[in-house]
A and B are shown apart, each in its own frame.
Chain A
Amino acid sequence: MTINSLQRCKPLLGTFVEVSLQGNCSEQALLNYSELAFDELTRIHGLLSFHDKDSELSQINIKLIAQPNEATKISTELSEILSLAQSLFTFSRGLYDLTIAPSLVFNEQLPNHLSLSEKAYGNFANLKFDNNIISTTKPLCLDLGGIAKGYAVDQAVKKLPPELEISINAGGDLYQNNWQENSVAVRYAKQYFAKRNIPMLNSALATSGNYYRNGKSAFIEPITKEQKKLHGCISVFAPSVMLADALTKIVLFMPKHECRTILELYNAQAFKISRFGFIKRF
């Protein structure tokens, strides 16, 4: 047997998802494995997309707005995401909040297919969930934009045999199983040459930046509801992509000394790269 490799890319999760596999098996076997990964990514996209009116998330959002006090059953996938989001909400004293969706809609960063009107919505503290049952004391709306891409990558990786060399990159949310001694280029501005090479420090890396957004910020501070400016980018290395994806927002909003504690707790490392390419480690 010889070592074969395969690289595929599909438009998924609202961005470009690249799956690279290498291993001691036939090219056809690699293709089949990549199909498994893409099928899983498509499935999770179908469940958790805010943009898709028929997704489970959109259906649950309709209920959380219309009948907040009624208990609703949610999928295991959503429940897994919400439990991490809940811990992060607590640790960050409300600065990591998935209920920011209405503000993002009014800021034209998300489509308004739920016909949200400008009124006060609840936050994550109003959300009650126990295993697979969810309810809220105030109408609210969830957006998983800052966590679900990472989760989808983690789930896709689980479908693949670990003896393969796996690399999945979902619009900057990157997973590599053999990350040791690898390096990665982090893009800190939209120009193609604005990249910094840094060594991989863990199996997952997520980067958040604003430079493709034409001046509008996709980052809204959940408590003050103010747009947060970010020149350059924030990158977080963590043991899972979901965690790395979520922690980039915590690093963005929390004071440096406070987010250090959270990063240590989750065994993560964070960097901020300025728009001129200077790296600062947290």
Chain B
Amino acid sequence: MQRFLNNPDDLVDETIKGFVKAHRDILHLNAENHRVAISNAAPVKGKVGIVTGGGSGHEPAFIGYVANGMVDAVAMGELFSSPTAKSFHDAIKAADGGAGVAVLYGNYAGDNMNVKMARKMAENAGIEIATVVANDDVCSASFDEREKRRGVAGEIFMWKIGGAKAALGGSLSEVQAAAQKAIDNCRSVGVGLGPCTLPAVGHPNFKIESGTMEMGIGHHGEPGIEVTKLKSANEVASDMAAVVLSDPGQQSHAEYAVLVSGLGATPINELYVLYDQIEKDIVAKGCSVYKAYVGNYFTSLEMVGASLTIMAVDDELKHLLAYETNCAYF
């Protein structure tokens, strides 16, 4: 392993410390709980609070989306492991401006349990809570079992839309509805070319043989739907586009916000190569790209690979997507 490490057990805390120093103009740590980061503007009195959280190792997610007009407070767990219920609760308290708090998070067993417990604690303390669970990863379950799908990079659009709705004065149920609409309109797919390693474990816990690729891989290396010979960039891009564009619910002539994210160890230039073909395929379907985002938005340690997320947008979503934020990564 050629990695920048001190003690692997300290990696998460050291990451957070560095992040809040580098972005001290945007956010700070909770004084009592160093696994919770809070926007400098939060809590805003009378505004619905936006909270998210998840395992570490996906940087800049989740901490990087704490900003005005996006996420007010974030709870962070160990690498690839859900934050504690206490951290979710502390994030909720920090985000609460008296108008309720929307917890917008991804569909994973640990996060579901910890949010459920945090919700109970917060409601007992008199904070009104609404949740939206992201389930945009197409290959993780069939469309009929959509509630089983994992949440991946579509979460970023969910935070942006929910965060903007809250900043514009939306009520808790309006913020929940907007965030739900965003994630309902999202479809994502990941492709893995190389695995990742939890530093404390020391070796990859899944394999991608040299010369092969795994279509539909999850953000933690969850197996995809197919392992094939490594194809050309254009073929991979077209395969990815086909997965998301052929999932039920896509309208003809749809307009999409498109996000192509590296998984950690893929050069940015290759992401643009993928994007070039992805946009061609979207246009060939009679659809169009409203706005594109290409870069490392939601990673998986040093996994080699990329994810594609499309979100069908209407006037409301376009307006919320364009709403101002001081987010360092969006």
Asked if A and B are interacting partners, one says: no
